[in-house]
Structure 1
Amino acid sequence: MFKSLAGRAASMAVAVALMSGAAAAEELRYAHVGAEGDIQTRYASEAADAIAAETDGEVTVQVFPASQLGGVAEMVDGVRMGSISMGHHDFASLARIVPDVAVFNAPFIYRDAAQALAATDPNNSPALQEINEKLISEGGVRIIGRIYRGARHISSNFEVKSPADLEDKPFRAVPLDLWVSMVKGFGATPTPVEVSELPTALMTGLVVGQENPLTMISANKLYEVQSHVALTGHMHSVLAVFVNEKAWQGLSEDNRAAITKVLEEKAQASLEWATASEEELVAELKGVGMTVITEAEGLDLEAFRKPVLEQIRADFPNFAPYIEQIAEVK
């Protein structure tokens, strides 16, 4: 009898412990707009698995890709309100909170891919740390990581070698002020289109061109509605990974450290993925019929660089000191 009672007591103790552990586990809802096959989708999936492993299951991450929880604006608002724990998108998507954060997506400001990743490190970049404090105080959102997706290039259904080829043509702009400014610098007419609507917009002629990393052009099969890609590399596409500050502070210090470690490892991995895939993607896009235009074929990068930077400086004068800080990052 005594052994039976003792056994039952032990079983109850184990059950209570398990229930306590379950209650203590934190689930983070992670949203993004990336499609299957894109680097950002791989990043989120692998980061979710690694976070669960690194925290011994104390933190789990449920990923909602492909705009399942809404477009960019809805996602950012959801993270601010806490209905979405975390997400990722271009830094400029957070300009709704702190306009100057868009500087990290500005065209022609990074020397190369590695420097772009270093300059957007929330743990070591002075410019980002300064802006992060503003994001936390003004919006309750904190940048905790980043993703390198590759250089962004122009695709179109005609040959593009200079801004003259885009003059007054409707060109897709990410629905953010920075992109509208950049497309003006291209000489085109900015036409904001959400990424989920982009293939249709290109098919119907609402826009005749767009710009994105090659991985996105491939993953979204834009080659079905676009015939040319110009390797302008005008932006090094780096996405901010951001979290609701209240949710972040609700995690233990150890788990925050574990998540930070995972996101840094995955950031470096994303750089490797993007760099390794660039040549393969060029070959793939040629294989499906796209014409790839480089400087060897007459692409005039300086003709793009000068008017785009002039437009950015005119529209975003506050960027100047941050651009200087970014340039100093090794």
Structure 2
Amino acid sequence: MTYRSLLTTSAMALLVGAGAAAADTWRYAFEEAMEEVQGKFAQKFKEEIEANSDHTVQLFPFGTLGESDSIMEQTQSGILQFVDQSPGFTGALIPEAQVFFVPYLLPQDTETLASFFENSKAINELFPPLYAEQGLELLTMFPEGEVMMTTTEPVSGPDDLNEVKFRVMTNPLLVESYKAFGATPTPLPWGEVYGALQTGIIQGQENPAFFIESTKMYEVTDHITRAGHNNFTTAVMANKDFYDGLPDEDKTLVNNAIDAAFDYIIEYQSGLTEASLEKIMEAKPSMTITTLTEEERAPFMATAESVEQEFLEIGGDQAQTILDQLKADLEAAKSGG
């Protein structure tokens, strides 16, 4: 057993032991650091729960309890009560959730995005039963910011990604998306990405600007490309048995805290992207940040249809229904409905 595995196993043992002694302590793990977007959401959720009840919420940021697969397993088994995880990782459990990786599906306008995530029938009505099948109560999904490519060489079109080993999450549709972009997609756990870029095993990765800045991905890459192809999506879930077993007043408490955290995180992200890019340029003035023109984006956008068809092939039994409803929800958000 590795040292890291031993630490994770020990932490899990402590959690199991703590469960019986402190039934009013709810445990919540997420995939980012405390001061990153998921951490800010979690802190607001904790604040709301503790201000309106006798319960306490214990937060576990990235790495505390292992990688993404570990915290999901711990949530499904009931060791954790809450988890925040991107569909990039839950896509293996819930194929339909991969729809969020069809390029150029989500709008860039932040108000439209917020309206979509808050009011989407696909998210609020169609996805919950799919998550429930995996022992999860889907509480909300929210956007984290425009996804940008960071690479060791400049990118102005798909030809520039030819033979570039590009790190992607372990998500089949994201793999297909970067294949369509011309790259060689390379799934890697997040904990291995910095070192892989540093040693040249991979030459690129994608994430929102705040995450590129906070994890110092700019130290091991030289170019940021804004192709406008996606916005990072994440989902907050509860263990289904835990949630179903709560008295109605506690369910209301949780749902109200989720709503408050959603409103907070949308407001928190206002101006975050540009502020993060400014910090990157201050830390590394030689970094280039390029926003592709509509003409330069066109070849990337042309791949969307083939990736969408791939989603319909691998996206589960309700792929078509989910995609159709998602598009209808996006149109409603754009029109202000």
Per the normalisation by structure 1, the TM-score is: 0.85
- One of 39, 42, 49 as aligned partner of 2:40: 42
Mapped partners of 1:314, 1:143: distance in 2: 25
Deviations along 1:123-167, one digit per CA (max 9) or x if unpaired, are x4321222211221x211111023321110101111011111001
Query: Aligned residue pairs: how many?
Result: 303
Residue 304 of structure 1: aligned partner = 300
Deviations along 1:67-102, one digit per CA (max 9) or x if unpaired, are 211211122222111122111111242233321122
Offset at residue 62 of structure 1 (A): 0.7
Greater Cα offset, 200-209 or 124-133: 124-133
- Which structure 1 residue ranges, 5 or more long, are not aligned? 1-21
Offset at residue 36 of structure 1 (A): 4.4
Mapped partners of 1:47, 1:223: distance in 2: 31
Q: Tell me if the contact between 1:143 and 1:243 (Cα under 8 Å) persists in the aligned partners.
A: yes
Q: Tell me if the contact between 2:150 and 2:224 (Cα under 8 Å) persists in the aligned partners.
A: yes
Q: Tell me if the contact between 1:218 and 1:285 (Cα under 8 Å) persists in the aligned partners.
A: yes
Residue 276 of structure 1: aligned partner = 271
Residue 86 of structure 2: aligned partner = 90
Offset at residue 223 of structure 1 (A): 1.1
Deviations along 1:204-259, one digit per CA (max 9) or x if unpaired, are 11110000000000010111111110012311112100110111122221121122
Q: Tell me if the contact between 1:35 and 1:220 (Cα under 8 Å) persists in the aligned partners.
A: no
SS at match of 1:327: helix
Mapped partners of 1:307, 1:45: distance in 2: 38
Residue 251 of structure 2: aligned partner = 256
Q: Tell me if the contact between 2:25 and 2:57 (Cα under 8 Å) persists in the aligned partners.
A: yes
- Quick one: structure 1 residues 323 and 117, their matched pair in 2 at CA, closer, same or farther if it must change by over 3 Å? farther
Q: Tell me if the contact between 2:44 and 2:260 (Cα under 8 Å) persists in the aligned partners.
A: no
TM alignment of 1:1-330, pairs within 5 A: 26-54=24-52, 56-57=53-54, 59-111=55-107, 112-121=109-118, 124-128=119-123, 129-136=125-132, 138-287=133-282, 288-289=284-285, 290-295=287-292, 300-317=296-313, 318=315, 319-329=319-329, 330=333
Q: Tell me if the contact between 1:184 and 1:308 (Cα under 8 Å) persists in the aligned partners.
A: no
SS at match of 2:64: coil
Q: Tell me if the contact between 2:48 and 2:260 (Cα under 8 Å) persists in the aligned partners.
A: no
SS at match of 2:156: coil
Greater C-alpha Rg: 1
Q: Tell me if the contact between 2:27 and 2:80 (Cα under 8 Å) persists in the aligned partners.
A: yes
Greater Cα offset, 169-178 or 27-36: 27-36
Q: Tell me if the contact between 1:146 and 1:239 (Cα under 8 Å) persists in the aligned partners.
A: yes
Mapped partners of 1:231, 1:263: distance in 2: 30
Offset at residue 33 of structure 1 (A): 2.0
Per the normalisation by structure 2, the TM-score is: 0.83
- Which structure 2 residue ranges, 5 or more long, are not aligned? 1-19
Give the letter for the 2:229 counterpart.
H
Q: Tell me if the contact between 1:293 and 1:299 (Cα under 8 Å) persists in the aligned partners.
A: no
Offset at residue 25 of structure 1 (A): 5.4
Mapped partners of 2:157, 2:199: distance in 1: 24
Mapped partners of 1:233, 1:29: distance in 2: 35
- Quick one: structure 1 residues 304 and 182, their matched pair in 2 at CA, closer, same or farther if it must change by over 3 Å? same
Q: Tell me if the contact between 2:213 and 2:277 (Cα under 8 Å) persists in the aligned partners.
A: no
Q: Tell me if the contact between 1:145 and 1:240 (Cα under 8 Å) persists in the aligned partners.
A: yes
Mapped partners of 2:256, 2:265: distance in 1: 14
Mapped partners of 1:48, 1:227: distance in 2: 37
Greater Cα offset, 59-68 or 30-39: 30-39
Residue 12 of structure 1: aligned partner = none
Q: Tell me if the contact between 1:231 and 1:294 (Cα under 8 Å) persists in the aligned partners.
A: yes
Give the letter for the 1:33 counterpart.
E
Mapped partners of 2:120, 2:267: distance in 1: 20
RMSD, matched Cα: 2.2
SS at match of 2:58: strand
Offset at residue 200 of structure 1 (A): 0.8
- Quick one: structure 1 residues 308 and 293, their matched pair in 2 at CA, closer, same or farther if it must change by over 3 Å? same
Greater Cα offset, 210-219 or 264-273: 264-273
Offset at residue 30 of structure 1 (A): 0.9
Deviations along 1:158-203, one digit per CA (max 9) or x if unpaired, are 1011111001211001112222122112211111111122111111
Residue 16 of structure 2: aligned partner = none
